[in-house]
Amino acid sequence: MGAFTSRGTDIETDGDLVRLAGVSFRRDETTILRDIDLTVGAGERWALLGRNGCGKTTLLSLVGALQHPTTGTVEVLGRTLGRVDIFRELWPRLGHVQGRHRPSGPLTALQVVLTGITGTNSLVLRWQPTGQELTRAHDSLRDVGVDELAGRSWELLSNGEQRRTLLARALVKAPDLLLLDEPAAGLDLPAREHLVDALDDLAGRRPELGSVLVTHHLEEIPASTTHVALMHRGRLLAQGPVAQVLAAEPLSACFELPLEVRHHDGRWTARSRR
């Protein structure tokens, strides 16, 4: 971990996208996160792994400037939470993909992507996209492999098609940091693989784009992932390059189950060790 050096109202980043130092988060009387230190560098693609309820989504909400820490410092894209205009300076540069996101109103896939520009669940009244914005929306759909669905009703899309449309929605504003909260949750095998392939393709096209993916399944981790952090009961149990962290010993401790871990062609699986 690099040193955290104060400079004016922000922390010196040296090009890092995210820095968390001594972060804890409490809700009412419950401590959800404890003593979190994490750095995400430019172009790094992280997976945040752990059991349900361990604090993964809460941590992602801090990185996404949706919540503030109770203690410690959170810096995102060179700006310190609590000392920055989140709406103007951070949210336009962050792409969020939430598997449970539901657009409001009868929208086409293209219109759902356009709501990523306005940051709303529905099209803004009397707002019209520019020709450039329409081009970006179509390009985003094409980049995730669903450009032929642009005119189709969102409600008629399969779960997998909806998730890739939400990925396009996050990409339409060309973010500096992409945050994915269990984007493959509930998908069947083909839909999951299409989504993982889309993320790998994105890494090839935009290698400078940093990302943090929350999941609790090794099978959902793209081959292009560079780093992994393991969460256990609100703490970071292990973090570092993917090949070092996705090993039997740290994963067994993370999930409190003896595990056998396998790696093939960039992808990972785990099963209980009997």
What distances in angstroms separate CA 75 from CA 30, 43, 63, one per listed residue?
A: 24, 17, 8
Predicted local confidence at residue 3, as pLDDT? 29
Q: What is the pLDDT of residues 218-257, one digit of tens each?
A: 999 999 999 999 999 999 999 999 999 999 999 999 999 9
Confirm whether 215 is domain-assigned.
yes
Cα distance between the two ends of the chain: 36
Predicted local confidence at residue 121, as pLDDT? 86
Phi, psi (5° rounding) for residue 100? -95, 5
Confirm whether 142 is domain-assigned.
no
The Cα–Cα gap between 19 and 61 comes to 14
Q: How many CB atoms lie within 10 A of CB 155?
A: 11
Q: Which two tokens stand for residue 88?
A: 């103007």
With pLDDT > 70 as the criterion, what percentage of the chain qualifies? Answer: 95
Confirm whether 129 is domain-assigned.
no
> Cα Rg for the chain, rounded, in angstroms?
19
Confirm whether 43 is domain-assigned.
yes
Q: Which two tokens stand for residue 259?
A: 């595990």
Confirm whether 262 is domain-assigned.
yes
Q: Which domain holds residue 94?
A: 6-102+176-272
pTM, to two decimals: 0.90
Confirm whether 164 is domain-assigned.
no
Which domain CATH number covers 35?
3.40.50.300
Q: What is the pLDDT of residues 47-72, one digit of tens each?
A: 999 999 999 999 999 999 999 999 99
Confirm whether 144 is domain-assigned.
no
What distances in angstroms separate CA 218 from CA 167, 188, 243, 268, one per listed residue?
A: 20, 15, 12, 6
Confirm whether 138 is domain-assigned.
no
Domain count, the chain: 1
DSSP symbols for 21-74: EEEEEEETTEEEEEEEEEEEETT-EEEEEE-TTSSHHHHHHHHTTSS--SEEEE
